[in-house]
Amino acid sequence: MKRIIVSLFSCIAFSSFAQNTPTADAIIEKYITAIGGKEAIAKIQDMTINSTSESQRGTSETEIKYKFPDKYTMTVYFNGNQGMTTVYDGKNIKTSGGFGGRGGNGAGGNRPPIEGKEAKIQAMRSSPFFELLYDELGITRTVLGTEKVGDKDAYKVEITTPDGKKWVDYFDTTSGLKVKNFSSNETPRGKFESTVSYENYKKFKGTEILIPSVTKRSAGQMGEIVSEVQSVKVNKGLKDSDFEIKE
């Protein structure tokens, strides 16, 4: 009898959860609306984001450029010197440079380009509007429940790419904003876990959308990396030539 009661209670609790929890698509739709909406996003042809980061290895500067819908470049500077550069030309992505043992991810030199859908996912994942590409890229999403992020409730949405890569995004149940990301990947050196917190969303001058001005990343031996956006420039006429992969 006790087992029957426990089982019945579990079914009722699950049914209540299912009825009260929105779908993954509804959660993502609320996020897109919260940051400004599809109409405001559609007006953005290109975007340049400059930020500074502090970690136990020192200070670095990052410049990220997007030319929508499918071009991306990121350059990281360490102590004023250009380090790692990643370029996506709409078909291929290539990363070169690095900081050796002092910064970045510790990998120097040139790496072979990646092409196709995997390249686009890797390139555009940092975009504030990446969620709008999920259907095009065959990315699935599943609600896992709710969890506290700080002192607030957040929906947990598991994201799965066509090649099986997964991560979990957390969306504030009230504001709809994305507040955390968690990923876990197997590497030759073992499991690598990364947690990113998104804080202090705001509209920068000249933009109609909200962008997290502060991100805090916990990444293994590198400890916590705190990044702060210094400027956001929109529709400055970036050219396709700014996103050419150079040999």
- 11 pLDDT higher than 60: no
Band the pLDDT of 147: cuts 50, 70, 90.
Answer: very high
Quick: pLDDT tens for 25-69: 999 999 999 999 999 999 999 999 999 999 887 899 999 999 999
Strands in 101-209 per DSSP E:
114-115, 140-149, 152-160, 166-172, 178-187, 190-203
Does the residue 16 lie in any domain? no
Band the pLDDT of 15: cuts 50, 70, 90.
Answer: very low
Does the residue 47 lie in any domain? yes
Does the residue 231 lie in any domain? yes
What is the percent of the chain where pLDDT is above 70? 84
Does the residue 13 lie in any domain? no
Whose structure tokens read 């953005």? 44
Q: How far apart are CA 37 and CA 236, in angstroms?
A: 21
**Structural domains counted in the chain:** 1
Band the pLDDT of 20: cuts 50, 70, 90.
Answer: confident
Does the residue 12 lie in any domain? no
CATH for 92: 2.50.20.10
Does the residue 162 lie in any domain? yes
Average pLDDT over residues 91-115: 63
Q: How far apart are CA 128 and CA 60, in angstroms?
A: 21
Does the residue 9 lie in any domain? no
Average pLDDT over residues 161-188: 93
Q: How far apart are CA 143 and CA 140, in angstroms?
A: 11
- Print the domain residue range for 83: 23-243
Does the residue 11 lie in any domain? no
Average pLDDT over residues 72-100: 87
